[in-house]
Structure 1
Amino acid sequence: MTARNQNQNSGSDEDPQVMDQRKQRRMLSNRESARRSRMRKQKHLDDLINQATQLKAENSQIMTRVNIATQHYAAIESENTILRTQVMELTERLQSLNSVLHLMEEVSGMAMDIPEIPDPLLRPWQLPCPSQPIMNFQC
């Protein structure tokens, strides 16, 4: 064999070895890159799970506050209904007493100072706002 053929043969012998080393380095690099990619995906998934948990907790707190406010509203609305009924009953009593006073004034001939009873229905703009129930919503 000539020197040239020996160099080619020895070069050919090293080429597969060098190629195997490159292939191994590339495989290691790819594995490391894949490992980092899996770690990033897992971290992203963990972050999303934590965010979902936090949002569920916030939603639960908001729903609790909405339910408390709705209960408070219902209690106040009930109290307002009772107060309106009492106002109507007292107005009727006062009208009845004024009727008796007018009758006594006519019979006795004595002048009496009988105040006029304001009728809340004649001034609807002074009535409280009409009640509009708060609807409880579910998510």
Structure 2
Amino acid sequence: MASTKQPVSPGSDEDLRYAGVDERKRKRMISNRESARRSRMKKQQHLDGLISQVTQLQNGNKLIEQKVNKVDNMYIKLVSQNNVLRAQLVELTDRLCSLNSVLRVAEEVSGFAIDIPEIPDTLLEPWQLPCSVQTVAASANMFQC
């Protein structure tokens, strides 16, 4: 017995069923494409945000580096000035000692009493200050450039 295929009419139930399956596949495929597109856009927006944040952080780092360099240069200048002042202190202390010795010789030769003050210890030992130590409150923006 030969099986005979019956021609399926274009409006049969089977065609409608397959057409419904094909339509669902097509809609699912479109939905998946749209979802993938949204996902790519979301990733791109996130990446753009991260790139923007990196740029901001790099700019912030440059500003901080510039401020640190400026403070470092100021510190170097202050150390240099402090060294100059210390050298001047030594020179002036030596000069004062020399002048005091001249006064002592003049006092011995003349016989007149001359009041020769002693060199204050603070000149020889600057860590021993003659005045009371006062605390200094530093403000948060004290070192802003």
Q: Classify the TM-score, shorter chain.
A: 0.7 to 0.9
Which residue in 1 is equivalent to 2:30? 28
Determine which of 115, 118, 128 is the counterpart of 1:116.
Answer: 118
Which residue in 2 is equivalent to 1:48? 50
Q: CA RMSD in A?
A: 1.7
**Take 2:110 and 2:66, find their aligned partners in 1: how far apart are those partners?**
65
1:101 matches 2:103 = yes
Give how far 1:113 is off: 1.2
C-alpha deviations, 1:5-57, integer Å up to 9, x for none? x9xx9322211100000110010001000000000000000000010011001
**SS in structure 2 at match of 1:124:** coil
Give how far 1:122 is off: 4.1
**Take 2:23 and 2:93, find their aligned partners in 1: how far apart are those partners?**
103
**Take 1:34 and 1:25, find their aligned partners in 2: how far apart are those partners?**
14
Q: Which ranges in structure 2 are unaligned for 5 or more consecutive residues?
A: 1-7, 130-145
Give how far 1:124 is off: 2.6
Matched letter for residue 54 of structure 1: Q
Matched letter for residue 15 of structure 1: R
**Take 2:98 and 2:57, find their aligned partners in 1: how far apart are those partners?**
61
**Take 1:77 and 1:122, find their aligned partners in 2: how far apart are those partners?**
19
Matches within 5 A, 1:7-86: 10-86=12-88
Which residue in 2 is equivalent to 1:129? none
Q: Which structure's relative contact order is higher, taking Cα pairs within 8 Å and 6+ residues apart?
A: 1
Give how far 1:116 is off: 1.1
Question: TM-score, normalised on structure 2?
Answer: 0.77
Q: Taking every aligned residue pair, what percent have the same amino acid on both sides?
A: 54
**Take 1:63 and 1:102, find their aligned partners in 2: how far apart are those partners?**
58
Which residue in 1 is equivalent to 2:134? none
- Between Structure 1 and Structure 2, the one with more helix by share is 1
